[in-house]
Structure 1
Amino acid sequence: MTENAPRIVDFRFMMSHPAHCIALGFGSGLAPKAPGTVGTLWAWAIWLVIQNFLSPAAQGLLIALSLPLGWWACTLTARHMHIADPGAIVWDEFIAMWLILWLILPTGFWGQLIAFALFRFFDAVKPGPVAWADQLFKGFGWRGGWGILLDDLVAAFCTLLVLAFWRWVW
């Protein structure tokens, strides 16, 4: 393998550095199909546990601390993978989904499912502002790590806008 060839991402790679484990969503990013969707589902499942043990303020602090942690982990992991924005990195989905759930809870299963579906739509299709955010910071280094996170944060914002409009109309 040459120095700049993309690395194969597997369990061994994930466990070789704590940043890899975080960026790969504790293994959810290793899914062979739709790692972003699998990562978002894992984030949702973890949130269902977190919300039972942390106050809303502590949940917000967790999300706030997850941003610089994710920036570091995603930057380092992308560099080690030799890919600017690898699909296996799913920490961005974790942060975005946690932010959505924190801001819409308390809500029942159907509200959470609609939020999940909307977020996946915005993240996968990348309409308008999400596409803009996806192209804004590309490459390696701090800009690339921030770019990995930014489009998912914008997708989360779009999801929250749709949910707010839906609540306002109904």
Structure 2
Amino acid sequence: MNRLAQLTATVGGVGYLRPAPGTWGSLVALPLAWAFHTLGGLPLLALAVVGTYIKGIWATNEMTQGSDDHDPSEIVIDEVAGQFIALLPLSYASWMHGIDILAMWPGWVVAFGLFRLFDITKPGPIGRADRRGDAVGVMLDDVIAGIFAAIGVIVCAGLWHGVLQPMFNQ
């Protein structure tokens, strides 16, 4: 097996942690996303999404060649890409408005929770992407889950800042 592909797909071995390797992969994405955002704001985090997706397809393809299992649990690079996407609205708000991204910690919790929910339950197009049975499907289901989670983050932020918080401040 290609060692570089294995290290990439398992995110340095994080995918071998038990239980719930996908959750561990999502957790390790959080400080990575913070680092990318801190170093280069939204543009660098967006670039990290693209790079992680491309590297993930390559690494997943390498790791699953000749195997009946198209999505072994130790492959967690897909969770990293999806979690990065779920965090993009926070990176955008921080970058555009000069807000410390860590000050938006409730959004981080929402992004993590929603991403895990969509990744585990695989509603609609997430499940269809997962059933592709190839490396693109492995990555794509988490990309779509990340997009759903990002939309959820935006909706929750709108509800909190636009409806609930003003009610509490009266």
Instruction: Bin the TM-score by the shorter chain.
Output: 0.7 to 0.9
What CA distance in whole angstroms lies between the structure 2 residues aligned with 1:87 and 1:154?
18
- Pick from 12, 25, 31 the counterpart of residue 26 of structure 1: 12
Unaligned runs of 5+ in 2: 95-100, 164-170
Q: Cα deviation per residue 1:103-150 (whole Å; 9 max; x = unaligned)? A: 322351111011101100110111222222211x11xxxxx1101101
Aligned counterpart in structure 1 of residue 150 of structure 2, from 145, 160, 164: 160
The equivalences for 1:8-157 within 5 A come to: 17-79=3-65, 83-105=69-91, 106=94, 107=101, 108-135=104-131, 137-138=132-133, 144-157=134-147
Amino acid at match of 1:45: P
* Alpha-carbon distance in structure 1 between the residues aligned to 2:88 and 2:13: 23
Give 1:51 shift: 2.0
User: What code does the residue aligned with 1:158 have?
Assistant: F
Deviation, structure 1 residue 49: 2.2
Q: How many residues align?
A: 150
TM-score, normalised by the number of residues in structure 2: 0.80
Q: Runs (4+) of structure 1 moved beyond 4 Å?
A: none
What is the CA RMSD across the aligned residues, in angstroms?
Answer: 1.8
The answer for the alignment partner of 2:168 in structure 1 is: none
Q: How far is the alpha carbon of 1:47 from its aligned partner?
A: 1.7
Aligned partner letter, 2:140: L
**Aligned residue in 2 for 1:3:** none
What is the distance in 2 between the residues matched to 1:40 and 1:66? 13
In structure 1, the gaps of 5 or more residues are 1-12, 139-143
Distance in 2 (alpha carbons) for counterparts of 1:102 and 1:152: 14
Q: Which range is displaced more, 125-134 or 17-26?
A: 125-134
Q: Distance in 2 between matches of 1:83 and 1:76?
A: 12
